[in-house]
């Protein structure tokens, strides 16, 4: 019996298998940040394809925190109705869906709005210099995350993921590479993790106690002067104490240096974090073959396998994997004629 195609229950969230679709920006919303038909078809197809947990693309908590002018948003109540429609669609197809809430900070490209960051340090020469966040900015962004979480609960998402990776705002606070503050939010690790922890606590206050809370983290940065893996493990330990239930582990994004990539290149970091903290983790990194997913889960390296671009190429990857692994009962009845070799 395949391990990664078996159900799992984390907290009170039951998933039909261990496959998670990791967040991937589509950049196809309008200036209003509202769900479009493209989103409904895109995510609905992956639910039909039997993905266990769909994690929606980065959804901005502030208009000025968008990664592009065409990002999805959860910064106004008017955006809830469309997202609730998406959640209802995924549920009707037997799937589960999480929303990823984020803020771009110095990597934001929202249009005419100013951009803010922990420090007035641009991401690269191609990005404008952000304004260093004031105490008023910190409070405003904190409440934006909290209000976005409240709206996500109104839309009935099964889980909420906070984006703390890939060089975006919360990652910027964690990293000494981008955080040069001289106050209680900069300097030593305890100070650098302060604002991400405050965000988690504020989000928890807006959520029912039983709802799952996740955070995406970059385990390593690939930049000189960045944080270390032991520091991110210590940060993760504090985030778990604050109420995080799952760690979604990625790498990089804090600078312009790209790592050497190969199938499974991020899995060792997820494994080390899981071993140290004994918490469910999602591991990702160029997974393409069912045998890879099986090894990751069966060996205990990860609780869930994160699939990205392979699911863009093929929304029925899970169905084909089930046939290849000899697992029955997964193909939807309507599609069974297309999979005559199902055992």
User: pLDDT tens digits for 112-122?
Assistant: 889 999 999 99
Residue 1 has pLDDT above 80, yes or no: no
Instruction: Calculate ∠ Cα 310-312-313, nearest 5°.
Output: 65
Total residues belonging to the chain:
343
pLDDT category, 195, cuts 50, 70, 90? very high
Find the mean pLDDT for residues 24-53.
97
Residue 71 has pLDDT above 80, yes or no: yes
Alpha-carbon dihedral 61, 307, 53, 73, rounded to 10 degrees:
20
Contacts of 310 (CB under 8 A, 6+ apart): 287, 288, 317
- Percent of the chain exceeding pLDDT 90 equals 93
111 or 148, higher pLDDT = 148
What is the per-residue DSSP string for 246-294? EEEEE---SSSPPPP--TTTTHHHHHHHHHHH---EEEESS--SHHHHH
Residue 318 has pLDDT above 90, yes or no: yes
Residue 340 has pLDDT above 90, yes or no: no
Instruction: Give residue 259's pLDDT.
Output: 85
Find the mean pLDDT for residues 271-279.
96
Find the mean pLDDT for residues 60-70.
97
Q: Please state which CATH class domain 8-338 belongs to.
A: alpha beta
Instruction: Give residue 257's pLDDT.
Output: 85
Q: Domain segments of the chain: what residues? A: 8-338
Instruction: Give residue 341's pLDDT.
Output: 64
Here the tokens at position 282 are 């999602």
Instruction: Give residue 157's pLDDT.
Output: 98
Output the pTM of the full model: 0.96
CA distance 73 to 99: 11
Mean pLDDT of the chain: 96
DSSP E strand stretches across the chain: 8-10, 13-15, 19-21, 53-60, 72-73, 96-102, 116-117, 131-132, 159-164, 212-218, 246-250, 281-284, 304-307
Instruction: Give residue 98's pLDDT.
Output: 98
pLDDT category, 342, cuts 50, 70, 90? low
Residue 101 has pLDDT above 90, yes or no: yes
């Amino acid at each position: 019996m395949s391990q990664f195609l078996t159900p799992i229950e984390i907290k009170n969230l039951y998933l039909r298998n261990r496959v998670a679709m990791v967040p991937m920006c589509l950049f196809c919303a309008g200036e209003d940040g509202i769900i479009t038909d493209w989103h409904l078809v895109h995510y609905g197809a992956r639910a039909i394809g039997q993905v266990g947990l769909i994690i929606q693309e980065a959804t901005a908590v502030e208009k000025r925190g968008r990664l592009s002018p065409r990002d999805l948003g959860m910064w106004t109540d008017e955006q809830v109705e469309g997202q609730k429609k998406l959640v209802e669609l995924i549920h009707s197809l037997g799937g589960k869906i999480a929303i990823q809430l984020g803020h771009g900070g110095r990597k934001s490209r929202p249009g005419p709005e100013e951009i803010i960051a922990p420090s007035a340090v641009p991401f690269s020469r191609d990005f404008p210099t952000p304004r260093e966040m004031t105490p008023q900015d910190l409070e405003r962004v904190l409440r934006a995350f909290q209000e976005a979480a409240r709206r996500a609960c109104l839309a009935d998402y099964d889980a909420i993921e906070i984006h703390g990776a890939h060089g975006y705002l919360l990652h910027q606070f964690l990293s000494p590479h981008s955080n040069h503050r001289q106050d209680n939010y900069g300097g030593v690790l305890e100070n650098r993790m302060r604002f991400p922890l405050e965000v988690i606590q504020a989000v928890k206050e807006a959520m029912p106690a039983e709802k799952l809370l996740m955070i995406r983290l970059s385990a390593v940065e690939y930049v000189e002067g960045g944080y270390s893996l032991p520091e991110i493990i210590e940060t993760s330990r504090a985030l778990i104490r604050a109420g995080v239930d799952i760690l979604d582990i990625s790498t990089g994004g804090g600078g312009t240096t790209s790592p050497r990539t190969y199938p499974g290149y991020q899995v060792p970091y997820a494994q080390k974090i899981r071993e140290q903290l004994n918490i469910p983790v999602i591991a990702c990194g160029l997974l393409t073959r069912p045998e890879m997913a099986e090894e990751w889960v069966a060996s205990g390296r990860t609780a869930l396998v994160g699939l990205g671009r392979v699911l863009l190429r093929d929304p029925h990857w899970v169905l084909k994997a089930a046939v290849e692994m000899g697992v029955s009962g997964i193909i939807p009845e309507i599609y069974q004629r297309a999979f005559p070799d199902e055992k």
